[in-house]
Structures are given as C-alpha cells and as structure tokens.
Amino acid sequence: MPFRIERNDITKVHTEAIVNTANPWPTIGSGTDAAVYTAAGVELLLEERKKIGIIERGQAAYTPAFRLLATNGIRYIIHTVGIKWKGGHKGEIEIIRNCYRNSLRIAKELNCKSISIPLLATGNYGFPKETVLNIALDEISQFLFENEMEVVLVVYDKESFKVSNKLFDGVQSFINENYIGKKKDINNGSEIKAFFLDGASYRRRHKEEELSEEPIIAAEEAELESLPERESPEKEITPIQSISIDDFVSQNKGGLNFQELLRKHILDKGLDNPTVYKRSIIIDKKLFSKIINGHIPNKHSVMALGLALELSLEEYETFLATANYALNPAEMFDIIVKYCVTNKIYDVMQVDSLLFQKDLPCFNE
C-alpha cells in the first residue's frame, strides 16, 4: 500500500529506509536519535555520520543502516534536522516541510521502495503535534501523487498523534447522532442493542445515564409506550415490496453500472484516471485498470474511490450502491467516512488520521 499509519518504534519497522530526527552536528542526541544509533550500532553509525559533517536545518543526508539491515531489512538511515517551535512565525513550518520533502527526495534517489517517517520535531523541539501531522500528510500526499513508494508514518503511541480538536469533536458529535452501536445495561452490565433514531433522542435518553438507576432498556420501553399503538400482529399486513440495489440504480440513475458511473464522474469532474487512483492512495495503476474493465473491488477501495472523486453524500451512496455496497450505521468506520463526505473532507490520508485516532483500521489495513 502506498501509505499507512503505524504505531511502532521506528527502529523496529520493516522498510528500506527510515528517517531519523538528527542532531545538526555529528553527535548523538536524545530520544529517537539515540534509539537509532543504539539499534544500528553506535560506533559504526557515528563514524559514518562524522563523514557528513554538519547538516543544516531542514536538510537531510543518508548513511547505511548497519545492524538494522540484518535485523529489519532497513538499508538506509536518512538523517534530517528540525528546529525548535517558536510560535510558527520564524520560518519553522517551512523548515519542517523541507525535512519531509528532502527525506522523501533522498529515498527516491536511492530507489527505495519503502520509507518510514516519524512525526518530526514534536519531542524536545516542541512542535505542536497537530501542526506536524498536517505538514507530514500534505508533503507525503504531494510526493505520492508523483511517485510510487510505500510511505509509513510512524507514531510511537496514540498520545503522540493528534488531529485537530475541532475536527475530532465534530466527528464525535456526528457519531453520537448517527451511530447504531452497543450499550451496556447499567444494572447488570449485559450488552443490548441501542438504535439511535436521531441525536436529540440519544442525548435526551442518555443525558443522565450515569446517575440513573433504571436500565437503558427501560428507558427505551418507556419511549416506545408514547408511540401510537401498532395493529395486532394477527391482522394481515400487506408486505413492503423490496427492491434490489440494481433495480434502484436502474430506476434512478439511468441504469448505469459501477464502471459506467465511475467513468461518468471522472468525465463530469474534469479528472483523468491517474488523478483518481492516486488520490485514492490505496489503489495503484494495475488495480484501477482492472476496475475500469469490469472488476468490482472490495468495499474500502470503492469508498476510497468515492472520496477521490469528491462526491456529494447522495452521489457517494449511489456510487457505493452500484457496487452492491452501502454505508452501515452499525460500523464506526462507515460513520466516520460519512462524516468526512458530508463535510467535504476528501483527502484519504486525513480520513485515515481520524480513523487511527479512533483506534479503527485505516483504509490500507
């Protein structure tokens, strides 16, 4: 896969190159730098690093990975030097951009098929994690649009990875209003299915849940009692006529199948095939060719293509339907993607960052 987020120690990943947050001078720093030297072999790496000399801030240089080649298959260590955060008005942001840009450039020059990069300058240099995350996603996205390489964004733990508070809160609010999930009966701890009809009823029903002595199921039954009585089950009821996805699309969208609708969206939006599959991140040229010629990919691939096409929610749901898929209100992954489509967040990497923050599989997993 071209891009993924991985929670790991960067010295334990399995890519051809890793990026080290280095000291400008050929000395061993702290944190990641110290860990890289230890894993690669202190004396071997330090001797090679001395040959490079001073690395200017924002620049990068590489050395062999020494012992990391035998242990993890890592061939190169790309050393890049960041800068301390000073409020964002002293050129720091452009320097960190250059760190990512130059590291990726060197990996390309070395003909690497894969590279792992951490969130740079968020330790001792004090860069806001949200700022660095946005820089990293932007630079990696631009690089992958023009180059083929597997790029792994490595974070040490969940606390070191932070999306925008505003965005995160917006997602959580959307989940509360749209997610069909499992809740626990607060009396006996057993799981029951709670179907949230809308955000207002959810908040009303659970506003004082922690203080209530009545189980959730009782609250649900009380709410149901206020609804009009249903007719007796013994009375004959005319069944609701079902309709297949294919029939629905045929009746409402002129009978276009998945491939036809894909081509139509590409044409209508003035795009071309490479732009679409590169935006999707998880689909390469070979797979896209198969899709155009009749192959129906898995649901996540169709969802990623829908994001790449920047469809409205109605267009997105119809696009999924032509491939016999649908957004599932019981799946947190689908709810978060629906939020992103609704709010025109189409960058698959940005969506992946939200999924990762929620401890969910990303598109590429």
The Cα-based distances of 170 to 64, 120, 165, 174, 342 in angstroms read 44, 27, 8, 6, 11
Query: Tens digit of pLDDT for each residue in 56-72?
Result: 999 999 999 999 999 99
Residue 192 amino acid letter: I
Number of domains in the chain: 3
**% of the chain exceeding 70 in pLDDT:** 75
Query: Tens digit of pLDDT for each residue in 93-149?
Result: 999 999 999 999 999 999 999 999 999 998 889 999 889 989 999 999 999 999 999
**% of the chain exceeding 90 in pLDDT:** 61
- Name which of 162-176, 243-257, 285-299, 343-357 the model is least confident about: 243-257
Average pLDDT (80-88) is 94
In a domain, residue 220? The reply is yes
Residue 358 pLDDT: 86
Residue 215 pLDDT: 43
Calpha distance 297→300 (Å, rounded): 8
Residue 308 pLDDT: 97
In a domain, residue 31? The reply is yes
Query: Tens digit of pLDDT for each residue in 20-40?
Result: 999 999 999 888 899 999 999
In a domain, residue 362? The reply is no
In a domain, residue 234? The reply is no
Is there a single domain that holds both residue 63 and residue 83?
yes
Is there a single domain that holds both residue 169 and residue 205?
yes
Is there a single domain that holds both residue 156 and residue 10?
yes
What the block records as the tokens of 170 is 């917006």
Residue 21 amino acid letter: T
pLDDT at 260 over 70: yes
In a domain, residue 230? The reply is no
Confirm whether 359 is a catalytic residue.
Answer: no
Residue 359 pLDDT: 86
Residue 151 — very low, low, confident or very high, per pLDDT cuts 50/70/90? very high
Neighbours of 167 (CB within 10 A): 18
- Among 35, 42, 44, 45, which Cα is nearest to 11's? 35
- The answer to whether residues 39 and 11 touch, using CB atoms and an 8 Å cutoff, is yes
- Among 81, 79, 101, which Cα is nearest to 17's? 79
Instruction: Name residue, tokens 């620049």.
Output: 59
CATH number of the domain within which 55 lies: 3.40.220.10
Residue 226 pLDDT: 44
Is there a single domain that holds both residue 351 and residue 330?
yes
What are the residues facing 182 on neighbouring strands? Answer: 193
Is there a single domain that holds both residue 66 and residue 132?
yes
Residue 255 pLDDT: 67
Among 118, 143, 160, which residue terminates a domain? 160
Residue 158 pLDDT: 62
Residue 218 pLDDT: 43
Residue in 9, 33, 198, 246 annotated catalytic? 33
pLDDT at 307 over 60: yes
Where does residue 195 fall: left (phi above 0), alpha (psi -120 to 50 degrees), or beta otherwise?
beta
Question: Domain range holding 61?
Answer: 3-160
pLDDT at 166 over 80: no
- Among 360, 353, 22, which Cα is nearest to 160's? 353
Q: What is the pTM of this model?
A: 0.72
Query: Tens digit of pLDDT for each residue in 207-255?
Result: 444 444 444 444 444 443 444 444 444 434 334 344 455 555 445 545 6
Query: Tens digit of pLDDT for each residue in 168-198?
Result: 677 778 778 777 764 444 344 443 333 333 3
Residue 1 pLDDT: 56
In a domain, residue 287? The reply is yes
Is there a single domain that holds both residue 262 and residue 289?
yes
Among 127, 160, 193, which residue terminates a domain? 160
Average pLDDT (291-301) is 96
The overall average pLDDT reported for the chain is 82
In a domain, residue 231? The reply is no
pLDDT at 345 over 70: yes
Among 131, 160, 189, which residue terminates a domain? 160
Task: Count how many residues are written for the chain.
Answer: 365
